[in-house]
A and B are shown apart, each in its own frame.
Chain A
Amino acid sequence: MAMMSTKRLQKELAELNGVKGTPPTGISLLSADNLASWRLELQVLGESLYQGETFAVEFRFGSRYPIESPAVVFVVNDKYKAPVHPHVYSNGLICASILGNEWSPVLSVSAVCLTLQSMLASCKEKKLPDGNDAFVKTAPLDPKKVRFVYDDDTV
């Protein structure tokens, strides 16, 4: 019963690859070989601490998307690093309530990317989250297996 999810992802894909509609500025599709996992490149527009940097975000969708949130991480490999940000762990895991208990199907891949852009754009100091090293050593790579506490409404 993943009809809904397929239908929705196909529409989102058509928008992101420019077949129907236009992807948001600063966001471009890197790969979407199937409807289970996509990668997008993301730049922060305008003046920010991340000017000139390019990041990649990976989305993984379950069969219950969009009722359930996608798993979203910054890609960390030879080419890409996670942004240095108080709410992004150096292994790429992101702590944002919209990806967890405040996920809503009204959000789309574009909307999530826009939120990430905005989160980075408003950053005032490039620093890693508290306890980054300890967390990264033991953290599962699947963000859905981590319980986050969302305690900062100011970003």
Chain B
Amino acid sequence: MVSMSTPTPTSTAPDPTPTGGAVGHAAQSLTGQEDKDKVASMLPRSETPGVPGDENQLSEHDLYQLAQQLKDEEANKRPLISSAEPLSALREEYTNGTGNFLEKIEWLMSQGWRGLRRTRGDGDCFYRSLAYAYVERLLFADDQDLAVASTKSILEAKLKVLEQVGFEKLAYEDFYDAFVEVIDLIVKPNQHGRKLDANGLLEFFQTPELSNSAVFFLKLVTSAQMRSEPALYEGFLMNPDTGDPMGVKEFCERFVEAAGKEADDPMISALTSALSVPVNVAYLSNAGFSDSSHKVNFVEFQSEGTGLSGAEPITLLYRPGHYDILEKRADDLETRPDRK
């Protein structure tokens, strides 16, 4: 994926304006040959009219447009969140791969993990995966009424935190309403007398406006959690582009509240604790101590709250740069055709 809009800050200043951020200049040119090569290598030559043999002859503007177009097409190929597919489908993808991903996926299967629910790789995948799994867990709770009621009271309490850290009410209330509305549907039928089922949940999360409402509500909750307890997070925040340490407020404005910014450990831990929900992340990567083994390293993000009694933690699968949802439930998988 080509990122055409990476900011290139040269320094970090403490909190200069009410909303932080940075200013700069317009760049009509791409940053360098490397970008051009990347874009050029992505061009389907035979299908690109007017592209001369030498990619250097493309104008900067053409390259930018093409890169954007490829990015959009790529994004549109995959729904925001997909039906669950059997984990064996993921294994297929790695049959010819290097590393020990194959063995690790088999190990996951041997531990009872059956399915993978993929989210679109748009930078919001952690929040979207978590939001989906968070609601799905209520849908499958033994006592739905209790689960929904306790979850709603947790979410409602977050509104105060959002207000306390200075967010404008109009900037978050619509997101909150949309998210709570879908949760309510689990126990309260809508005007057509229908409650939320697994299909309805999937539909909600595939509808950009609604799906993004859930994502942004969770992003704002994450930010508010970090801003309200800065001491817990301060030492762990750095600019992902430069590696420079950053203050909580500026970090939140630039890398939590903004769209399409990947979540990292501090955000996961903040959100876990804000929602009182335990989250386990299975790291499917070649890095770390589990490298030589065929096991997958699970990292547990525990919250202080008790959460839902008897409910399993939310489990996400991390592959470098991306989060999807891991599922043990199989009912979904057998009735649906595999989707890729």
Contacts and interface: CB of A to CB of B under 8 A. Distances in A.
A106 B174 contact: no
A130 B23 CA distance: 13
A114 B209 contact: no
Nearest to A3: B209
B contacts with A: majority SS: loop
Given A101-B5, A153-B11, A12 B23 contact: no
Given A12-B170, A146-B28, A148-B27, 18 more contacts: A1-B207, A3-B209, A87-B24, A95-B25, A98-B20, A102-B258, A103-B259, A106-B171, A106-B223, A114-B19, A115-B18, A119-B23, A122-B16, A147-B28, A148-B25, A148-B26, A150-B22, A152-B9
A135 B21 CA distance: 23
Given A4-B174, A108-B168, A103 B258 contact: yes
A104 B28 contact: no
B140 interface: no
Contacts of B208: 1, 64, 67
Contact of A147 (B5, B16, B174, B223): B5
A93 B26 CA distance: 9
Interface of A: 1, 3-4, 7-8, 11-12, 15, 64, 66-68, 86-87, 89, 93, 95-98, 100-108, 110-111, 114-115, 118-119, 122, 129-131, 135, 138-139, 146-155
Contacts of B178: 4
Contacts of A111: 18-19, 168, 171
A151 B209 contact: no
A110 B18 CA distance: 12
Between B5, B19, B167, the greatest number of chain A beta carbons within 10 A of the residue's beta carbon is seen for B19
Interface residues of B, number: 47
Given A4-B209, A152-B22, A147 B27 contact: yes
A100 B26 CA distance: 11
Interface of B: 4-13, 16-28, 31, 64, 167-168, 170-172, 174-175, 178, 207-209, 212-213, 216, 220, 223, 253-254, 257-260
B13 A153 contact: yes
15 contacts: A1-B209, A66-B171, A97-B21, A97-B23, A98-B20, A101-B258, A104-B259, A122-B17, A148-B5, A149-B8, A149-B24, A150-B23, A151-B10, A153-B10, A153-B22
A115 B25 contact: no
Chain A CB count within 10 A is highest, among B4, B168, B257, for: B168
Contact of A119 (B11, B17, B175): B17
Given A1-B209, A67-B212, A153-B16, A106 B25 contact: no
Contacts of B174: 4, 7-8
Contact of B21 (A1, A66, A89, A115): A115
A136 to B, nearest CB: 10
A96 B21 contact: yes
B24 A107 contact: no
A45 to B, nearest CB: 13
A151 B19 contact: no
Contact of B16 (A138, A150, A155): A155
